[in-house]
Amino acid sequence: MHTSLTTAPFGRTGMDLTRVGFGAWAIGGGGWSFAWGDQDDSASVAAIRHAVERGVNWVDTAAVYGLGHSEEVVARALADLPEADRPYVFTKGGLRWDENDPAKPSERVGDPASLRFEVESSLRRLGVERIDLYQMHWPAEDGTPIEEYWPVFRSLVDEGKVRAVGLSNHGVAALEAAERIGHVDSLQPRLSLLHRDAAAEVLPWCVENGTGSIVYSPMASGLLTGSFTAERAASLGSGDWRSKAPDFTGEALVRNLALVDALRPIAERHGVSVGTIAIAWTLTVPGVTAAIVGARSPEQVDGWVGAGDVRLSEGDRAEIRAALETTGAGDGPVIG
């Protein structure tokens, strides 16, 4: 796929990624434990197609998003694209849900047989013969050590079912254990101005080991878009996981929105949204290949698609550091 957007090499995978990719968490729809509420599938399809038209060359989803539904929506959006125009498709496994109780939290499962069942299910829902990146969504909690589930991922590459494999939400100890078995092609950690721990911990490991990194929630699940308000937070429905999240309530919300206000002058200087500045900041962190950004409409895509081309000056970054220190927003070291 040819793109006019800025790209970066994705570790040793041979893929070059646009600095922003389409995140398909929210478009999974409602009715599961980490849903964003009900969604309009047609709007979701339009958003994905618009992102691809604007030059975004990868989509990140997961089996658990909407309990399979997000993968199906991604497949629908990409079904009639010519092969040369198709973006890379990344997904994740290792979370198993109860078909009889969709609202019940998924279990983190590393059992090899379960993982093989999951990858076949994702291949079928996505309508592809090979997944470009397959990731373990969270460390297993079923008693399966990484020494038993990581070899499954590497064997999927050998079998041609996936092109590259990665870990999501895993720490340095797990990364080192996996790397001893076979190369960790990619890592997917949470990173934003509000949650900065990855910059001090796992991302330096990625730099040292030639591992690509795609970071999630760079706009802190909507908080750093510039359009989020205390009133909006108070009106979040019970079907939206954010209604119960600490970042969206109490003093933390006050600090977070104060940080947004402090970012507005920087955004105005660049002629972009606050959310674009928040994403651009994550792209300055060493070890970050690209950022995953969600959208539920073409208009939302237009709000962030240019983030990879924004160049933050040292003055901008100093202003951001000062804002973090003054507001006390978020957690992790004040860097950048």
Q: Is residue 3 part of a domain?
A: no
CA distance 116 to 129: 15
The whole domain housing 72 covers 17-229+274-312
Which of 94, 103, 104 is CA-nearest to residue 169? Answer: 94
Instruction: Give the position of tokens 């997961």.
Output: 62
Residue 105: its pLDDT value, please? 80
pTM of the full structure: 0.92
Q: Is residue 245 part of a domain?
A: no
Percent share of the chain, pLDDT over 90: 72
Rg (CA), the chain: 19
Confidence band (pLDDT; 50, 70, 90) for 282? very high
CA 155 to chain CA centroid, Å, is 24
Supply the CATH number for residue 205's domain: 3.20.20.100
Residue 329 belongs to a domain: no
Average pLDDT over residues 265-271: 96
Instruction: Determine, yes or no, domain membership for 262.
Output: no
Query: Is 216 part of the annotated catalytic residue set?
Result: no
For residue 89, the 8-state DSSP code is E
Where does 7-89 have alpha helices with state H? 41-53, 69-78
Residue 4 lies inside a defined structural domain of this protein: no
In a domain, 211, yes or no: yes
**Catalytic residue from among 65, 88, 134, 216:** 65
pLDDT band at 30 (very low <50, low <70, confident <90, very high): low
pLDDT at 242: 83
Output the pLDDT for position 31.
64
Span 228-250, average pLDDT: 79
Q: Is 237 inside any structural domain?
A: no
Residue 176, domain member (yes or no): yes
Q: Assign 66 a pLDDT band (cuts: 50, 70, 90).
A: confident
The length of the chain is 336
For residue 335, the model assigns a pLDDT of 74
- The tokens 């397959």 sit on which residue? 134
Number of domains in the chain: 1
Q: Cα separation of 324 and 190, whole Å? A: 18
Q: Is the pLDDT of residue 29 over 70?
A: no
Instruction: Identify the H or E element spanning 154.
Output: helix 146-158
